[in-house]
Structure 1
Amino acid sequence: MALSNTQRKYLRGLTHDLDPVVMVADKGLSENVRAELEQALEHHELIKVKVRADREQRKTWIAEIAAMTGAELVHQIGQVACYYRRHRKKPGIALPR
C-alpha cells in the first residue's frame, strides 16, 4: 500500500506525540526485535522506532524493517524512523484521501 503525500503528511503529524516503542541497537534485527516490531505494528498501526547505529547501517536496517514487516516508512529523522501498517480487521487510523 503506497501512501499519498497527503496521507504521509497526516501520519507525520500524528507521530510527533509518539515515543519510540522499539529500539534497534548493537544486536541488530534479531528475532526478538522482529517479533516486537510485528507486535507493535499489529497493536498500534503507527510506530516510532529508534535505530542506534552508524549512518549506513541505519539506512540498511530502516529499509529492511519496511521490507520484512510490510509497513510503509512515513519518515525518518536522524536515529528515529516512523512506520505505518494498516490493521487488517479493525483499522484505528482513518487516513485522508
Structure 2
Amino acid sequence: MLTGKQKRFLRSKAHHLNPIFQVGKGGVNQNMSKQVAEALEARELLKVSILQNCEDDKQEVADALAKTTGAEVVQIIGHTIVLYKESKEHKELILPS
C-alpha cells in the first residue's frame, strides 16, 4: 500500500508521461492485462487512457487492471489512470519512506 507521500512523488514523476495503453469498448481483457504487466515490469510507472466508448466505469477499469497486474493505482484523473508496480529487474524509482 502506498502512502500519501509516495503517491505525491509518483504523481510528479507521471505528470510528463503519455498514456501508452487505451481501454476501449472491449474493456479490460486478459491480453491487455498481460501487456500492461510487461510494460510495468519495464517502466514501473505508466498511464492508461480510457476512451469515451468504454462501457465500464473508470474506477472499475482501474481496479481490474490493478488486480490482474498486481499494481497500485496511484491516481485517476479525468479519463487517465496512473499505475505503479515495483520492477524486479529494472528498478529505477526509489520511493520516499
What residue number does 2:37 align with? 38
What residue number does 2:88 align with? 88
- Percent identity among equivalent residues? 29
What residue number does 1:62 align with? 62
Per-residue CA deviations over 1:24-69 (Å, capped at 9, x if unaligned) read 1011112331222111101100000001235x52221111111111
Q: Which runs of 4+ in 1 moved over 2 A?
A: none
**3-state SS of the aligned residue for 1:89?**
coil
Amino acid corresponding to residue 27 of structure 1 in structure 2: G
Q: Are the aligned partners of 1:74 and 1:84 in contact in 2 as well (CA < 8 Å)? A: yes
Consecutive unaligned residues of structure 1, counting only runs of 5 or more, are: none
Deviation at 1:90, TM superposition (A): 3.7
Q: How many residues align?
A: 95
Q: Does 1:10 align with 2:9?
A: yes
Q: Which structure 2 residues correspond to residues 15-26 of structure 1 after superposition, within 5 A?
A: 15-26=14-25
Amino acid corresponding to residue 76 of structure 2 in structure 1: Q
RMSD: 1.4
TM-score, length of structure 1 as denominator length: 0.89
